[in-house]
């Protein structure tokens, strides 16, 4: 595991963008596993800047997002599809047909999960998976549990996650209570994993995930077993 402790959020974002840009430059046809939340916003901004400066080409890149709220259409400003379009896709030359997010409006969540697993398999797996971390140690929407789920699945969100994500919604009661997420198995099969953490509210989660036992009660802790893991965090998260 490689660890970079950067001065602040801006430096963390620049470092993460450097690592992701290197992936794209070395392998222009990369399959990127992408994440949402407030943590990667700065990284996406840096990537867009580098694209506009002519340093990056997304035309061969394919993407699969980690998760999506159940019940939110792509046009809803809180959906993860909307987030990705707004923060990255619409600013770069990625082919939108090659960007994938689970379908939050599916009438059959189980079938959608099977489709998503199959899609990732057909794409040849994920070359670089980007992750944030929830304050309870969740990755994607894999909440603390009794076991590590392997494939994509539908989850009931933890109360703490619903509370944490309420800040993005006009009214807290509007936070969906269920989501579709990639499984831990899929994340672990990514050839490289890049996880970001920023702010002191992530300090305890980082400590438990990377300096504690590997347990499904802290889903991110399994990443200790990943052969190519990079953790980039700011000083506040490192504590
Ligand atoms: C959400 C997302 C995760 C994200 C986490 C942390 O629940 N599903 O992918 O990593 O929250 O979000 P933030 O970066 O806003 O702290």
Look up tokens 């402790």; give the residue. Answer: 5
Cα separations (Å) of 90 from 51, 130, 144, 156, 200?
A: 12, 19, 34, 31, 31
Asked if pLDDT for residue 174 goes beyond 90, the answer is no
Among 87, 132, 141, 164, residue to substitute to test ligand 1 (most atoms within 8 Å of Cβ):
132
pLDDT digits (tens, 9 = 90+) for 117-158: 999 999 999 999 999 999 999 999 999 999 999 999 999 998
Q: How far is the CA of 187 from the centre of ligand 1 (A)?
A: 15
Cα separations (Å) of 235 from 54, 218, 238?
A: 31, 22, 5
Task: Tell me the average pLDDT across 37-66.
Answer: 98
DSSP 177: S
Determine contact, residues 164/202, Cβ cutoff 8 Å.
Answer: no
Among 39, 177, 203, 205, residue to substitute to test ligand 1 (most atoms within 8 Å of Cβ):
39
Q: How far is the CA of 134 from the centre of ligand 1 (A)?
A: 5
- Ligand 1 atom at minimal distance to the Cα of residue 66: 9
Asked if pLDDT for residue 172 goes beyond 80, the answer is no
pLDDT digits (tens, 9 = 90+) for 25-39: 999 999 999 999 999
Asked if pLDDT for residue 171 goes beyond 90, the answer is no
Q: Which residues contact 115 (CB under 8 A, 6 or more apart)?
A: none
- Ligand 1 atom at minimal distance to the Cα of residue 199: 16
Q: What is the pLDDT of residue 143?
A: 94
């Amino acid at each position: 595991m490689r660890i970079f402790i950067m001065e602040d959020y801006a430096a963390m974002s620049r470092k993460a963008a450097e690592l992701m840009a290197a992936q794209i430059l070395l392998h222009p046809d990369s399959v990127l596993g992408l994440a949402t939340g407030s943590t990667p916003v700065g990284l996406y901004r840096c990537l867009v800047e580098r694209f506009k400066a002519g340093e990056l080409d997304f035309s061969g890149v394919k993407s699969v997002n980690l998760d999506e709220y159940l019940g939110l259409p792509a046009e809803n400003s809180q959906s993860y599809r909307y987030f990705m379009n707004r923060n990255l896709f619409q600013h770069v030359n990625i082919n939108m047909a090659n960007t994938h997010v689970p379908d939050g409006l599916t009438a059959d969540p189980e079938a959608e999960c099977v489709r998503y697993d199959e899609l990732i398999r057909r794409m040849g797996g994920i070359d670089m998976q980007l992750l944030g971390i929830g304050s309870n140690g969740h990755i994607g929407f894999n909440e603390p549990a009794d076991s590590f789920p392997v494939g994509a699945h539908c989850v009931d969100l933890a109360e703490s996650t619903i509370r944490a994500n309420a800040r993005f919604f006009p009214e807290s009661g509007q936070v969906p209570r269920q989501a579709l997420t990639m499984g831990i198995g899929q994340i672990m099969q990514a050839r490289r994993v890049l996880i970001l953490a920023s702010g002191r509210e992530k300090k305890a989660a980082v400590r438990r995930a990377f300096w504690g036992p590997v347990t499904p009660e802290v889903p991110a802790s399994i990443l200790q077993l990943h052969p190519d893991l990079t953790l980039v965090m700011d000083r506040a998260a490192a504590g």
